Structure 1
Amino acid sequence: MQKLDILFENDDFVAINKPAGLLSVPDREGKEQSLKSLLREKYGNIFVVHRLDRDTSGVILFAKNEAAHKNLSGIFEDRQVEKVYQGLAQGALPQKQGSIDLPIMEHPTKPGIMVINRKGKTALTDYEVLEELGPYSLVQYRIHTGRTHQIRIHSQSLGHPIACDEVYGDGRPVLLSSIKRNYKLSKQEEHERPILSRLALHSALLRFTDPAGTTHTLEAPLPKDMRALIQQLHKWG
């Protein structure tokens, strides 16, 4: 069984630092391992409160009982949760901070792909550039709505998609040779291994107040692969 990185738990919910590459919930076929199935093995009954894309890492919540599920789902639906993400966007954003207020709906003929359309549901994202790193920018995103692929499509709408985004960007992995001048492959390697080959997006913080009046601030540090890329960008970017 894959080891779970538990950030916090009490009788009502558990907060996990989800690794990139793991599904939040089982897909339609249900053949692949998901975070929900791992939690079910550990806790028995478990309830989904919200989701993260497969390649997004970071803080995700699951409820442990029906009452907590109802309460937490209500808090999320009423937008009473502060949701902060960090991502590496391509290029340098012209404005260092701003808001993107563009409605989102599912593509009429491509299931699972979202588009910006005035007939879509309201979607609001605040962003702030934390650091410019040569060909990329480290950006903090705060989402006020929880639409599917919201940050990814809003980031694309600025002309600065998230690095390695196969749907809304070019999907190209980040290679050291693209950052470092005069890069040479070592004799042991036939092919260059990417520094990052997954969507460069991380759920960094969730903050909410539970029905008992306790405020929970749940944080997950940037994962190793994103930190490694930032380190290389500091060095060569």
Structure 2
Amino acid sequence: MRINDIIIKETPDFVVLNKPAGTLTIPDRHDNQLSSLQGMLKKHYGEIFTVHRLDKDTSGIILFAKNEVSHKYYSQLFETRNVEKYYLGLVNGQLTPATGSVEQAIMEHPVQKGKMVINSKGKASHTDYEVLESFGLYSLVKFHLHTGRTHQIRVHAKYLGHPIAVDELYGTEAPVFLSSIKKTYKLGKRTEEERPLLKRLGLHAWQLQFTDQQGEKHVIEAPLAKDIQAVVTQLRKNSGRSSELIL
């Protein structure tokens, strides 16, 4: 992966990337410096500052600051909730009602490390959602984050009874196969095993809205990742829909 291939927007103060799924935002405890976005950006620019993070298996939009002054500015923007954050997620089942809001506090699981749970003693958490397309088996949902808790969308989606697709922590780790969508699916003569359309968390950071240090408003989007798009395309085809949704 080349950094230049995933840059969406760059200014003297910040760089916005379209993070591939499976890539760390920052090095993990094994210190995988060069396999993290932060490490690759440091090699590319010499100096880089992390402002916010995405889970390893979440794809999509992420912003890094290029100097200390902008790091302080953008970190404060995120902390004071002056950045609008929108995600697209593929959830299991048909989510009803089609629009709603979840305000359930989240805290770390008392026993299972790395997992979060809803608990009144946790930190206030607020997610709005809107179903963009419903296919029965799955729904494509837009999430608006008002807070930025760990695994917030995943936990709130589980609370709604419709966890994010391929979420081993809060739903099921079972991949999405074409055979589960297309009733007439048949394995090719030379194909021994079906390959999944989606084998990672079906969550994509789609859009950031913010005002920069010069007072200019930015609305920046990361196109939906190809693996999630492939599932949506097949769901449309097999539900009689061919038109692509315009977000």
Please say whether Structure 1 and Structure 2 have the same fold, judged by a TM-score greater than 0.5. Answer: yes
CA distance in 1, matches of 2:178, 2:112: 34
Residue 176 of structure 2 is aligned to residue 174 of structure 1 = yes
1:137-174 deviations in whole A, cap 9, x for unaligned? 00000000000100001001000000011111111100
- Report the Cα offset of residue 21 of structure 1: 0.8
The letter of the residue matching 1:5 is: I
Question: Partner of 1:97 in structure 2?
Answer: 99
CA distance in 1, matches of 2:152, 2:175: 21
Farther-moved stretch of structure 1 (31-40 vs 18-27): 31-40
CA contact (8 A) 1:133 1:230 kept: no
Question: Partner of 1:85 in structure 2?
Answer: 87
- Using the size of structure 1 for normalisation, the TM-score is 0.97
Residue 13 of structure 2 is aligned to residue 26 of structure 1 = no
Question: Partner of 1:193 in structure 2?
Answer: 195
Question: Partner of 2:209 in structure 1?
Answer: 207
CA distance in 2, matches of 1:165, 1:183: 25
CA distance in 2, matches of 1:51, 1:159: 26
Q: Percent identity?
A: 57
**Mapping of residues 3-42 of structure 1, within 5 Å:** 3=3, 4-31=5-32, 33-42=35-44
Residue 155 of structure 2 is aligned to residue 147 of structure 1 = no
Farther-moved stretch of structure 1 (103-112 vs 8-17): 103-112
Question: Partner of 1:75 in structure 2?
Answer: 77
Given the alignment, which residue of 111, 134, 137 partners 2:136?
134
- Report the Cα offset of residue 200 of structure 1: 0.7
- Report the Cα offset of residue 190 of structure 1: 1.1
CA contact (8 A) 1:196 1:225 kept: yes
Runs of 4+ in 1 over 3 A off after TM superposition: 1-4
CA contact (8 A) 1:163 1:169 kept: yes
CA distance in 2, matches of 1:141, 1:22: 22
Question: Partner of 2:221 in structure 1?
Answer: 219
CA distance in 1, matches of 2:63, 2:111: 31
The number of equivalent residue pairs is: 237
CA distance in 2, matches of 1:27, 1:114: 19
| Structure 2 gap segments, 5+ residues each | 240-247
- Give the 3-state SS of the residue equivalent to 1:228 in structure 2: helix
- Report the Cα offset of residue 221 of structure 1: 1.0
- Give the 3-state SS of the residue equivalent to 1:173 in structure 2: coil
CA distance in 1, matches of 2:28, 2:55: 12
- Report the Cα offset of residue 212 of structure 1: 2.1
